[in-house]
Amino acid sequence: MVSRRTVAVVEFAAAGLLLAVLFPLWRRASPDDEALRISPSEMAVGGVSQFVRYWAQDRDVAGIRTRRRRRVAAHLAWSGWSFVVRQRSDDPENASKNFHVGALAATMAYRLRYGLLGPLPDGDD
């Protein structure tokens, strides 16, 4: 069994790698697409929702960490929220990219604090 701390370190590294690779790609315009327009509000929504997701998961709110069905339901709810945010925007593709940049940044910040620099909340390992 992999420890929760190891998972947190891997999540931090993966988010950093994805952010370092995807953000510059999205910022450059391809010939048939326009460059990512930065939207602080959409990034904030993605960041806050990701923070809440990890906060609830680490504290096992409603058993979403320890019970598979609840974990799947929580993941579907988060995916649905992401979909709603994208569809309510004038530019869904741009909103999706901003949402995910915010979520990746929040993952890095949360996992830096809880996982790398400090212990995980509700630590049982």
Inside any domain, residue 58 = yes
Spatial distance between the Cα atoms of 47 and 53, rounded to a whole number of angstroms? 10
Inside any domain, residue 118 = no
Residue 24 main-chain phi, psi, to 5 deg:
-65, -35
Inside any domain, residue 121 = no
| pLDDT value at residue 69 | 96
**25-74 pLDDT, tens per residue?**
887 766 666 777 889 999 999 999 999 999 999 999 999 999 999 999 99
| pLDDT value at residue 32 | 64
**Into how many domains does the chain fold?**
1
**63-102 pLDDT, tens per residue?**
999 999 999 999 999 999 989 988 898 988 889 889 999 9
Domain interval for residue 68: 4-113
Inside any domain, residue 42 = yes
| pLDDT value at residue 29 | 64
